[in-house]
Amino acid sequence: MKRILGLILSAVLLVCLIPASFAAETGDVIVSGTLNLDAKGAILMEASTGTVLYEQDSKEKLYPASVTKVMTMLLVMESLDEGKISEDDPVTASENAVSYGGTQIYLEVGETMSLRDLLKAVAINSANDAAAALAEHVSGSEPAFVERMNARAKELGAENTHFVNPCGLPDPDHYTCAYDVALMTRELLTYPHILDYTGIWMDSLRDGGFGLANTNKLLKTYEGMTGMKTGYTEAAGHCLSATATRGDVSLIAVILGGETSKGRFASAASLLDYGFGNYTLVRRTVGQIAPIPVTKGRASSVSVAAEGEYRAVLKKGKQSDLTVEIETEPSLKAPVAVGQIVGKVRFFLNGTEVSSVPVVAVEAVEKAGFFDYLARLADCLF
């Protein structure tokens, strides 16, 4: 029976997910600069900097449906990164996990599946029972996992978020907003391995007995789409957190409360089109900086370098608006330590300082002693 149910569900999903063209529905920009979006809350964020490029009621508290699983996947990836769990871990389904309704892979009490397959079921198929099983495996119990979800949301600055379960099933106390979802999605993207799951179009479990088809249509219809998470309940409407990359630019588009499935995908594509069409990522790094003279040292100068780079998202054609100034000490007195701050690099956007990074010594210079001065005197004389 389980095998038959899996094949039927797979067939239904494949029919629903046949790639469709959104060419006539995307990229519509009103003269006033407002996009036509099917959403109660929406946002477009550049992933590497967190710059918000567009928003519509992005702080309004809304039901997220299965977009909740962005946080669920984040906690799983963090535990994997910390070595607390492994993708090869066998996970046994509990009665609680099996009791979840909605989209599922029909786990049975006591059934064991690898963590890898359960994560695949969550990322591709949005399975609630798989999400609950992962939550219990990561934190020992679902309540403990939910507690961690809420704590992690606060750490990320998601101030309009509160979770009640790891799946997204409706509850008056289970809510978030488009901005907070973007923050969670951005953090999840710091674990690139998750894209190996969210980018899968079709797969299967139980030795091919249960088919999986991705609920994110944009994987097949939008250039550069890397995945992430869909969601739907009657209370939440049609929701989506979509990620895409073209060249150096990675964008996050979040749609919450869409009236139709087609509308949420078209709206996300419109956001992404707007971002890729109008903005570019500018990186400013500082090349070689002249050594700084050192007095009373065993060396007469010290090599220095700027730490890090500055990234800014600018309107295309406005790259020259970002300028750089280097300020260093005219000279230093020995001793000089490695890592000692000796200046800074200042970044200006249209004449206004937007950031700075320190300039540090990359080598140590010890204070000169008697024999150092004697050697220098000898050099001068002979």
Active site residues: 66, 69, 126
- Residue closest to 267 by CA, chosen among 250, 247, 242, 285: 242
Say how far apart CA 182 and CA 219 lie, in whole Å. Answer: 18
Tokens of 37: 């979006």
One-letter amino acid of 209: G
- Listed in sequence order, the residues at least 6 apart from 287 whose beta carbon sits closer than 8 Å to its beta carbon are none
Residue 374 carries which DSSP code? H
Percent helix, percent strand, percent coil in the chain, to nearest 5: 35, 30, 35
| Cβ atoms within 10 Å, residue 329 | 14
CA–CA distances in Å: residue 78 to residues 52, 81, 84, 313: 25, 5, 9, 28
Q: What is the largest CA-CA distance in the chain?
A: 98
- Answer whether 185's CB lies under 8 Å from 256's CB: no
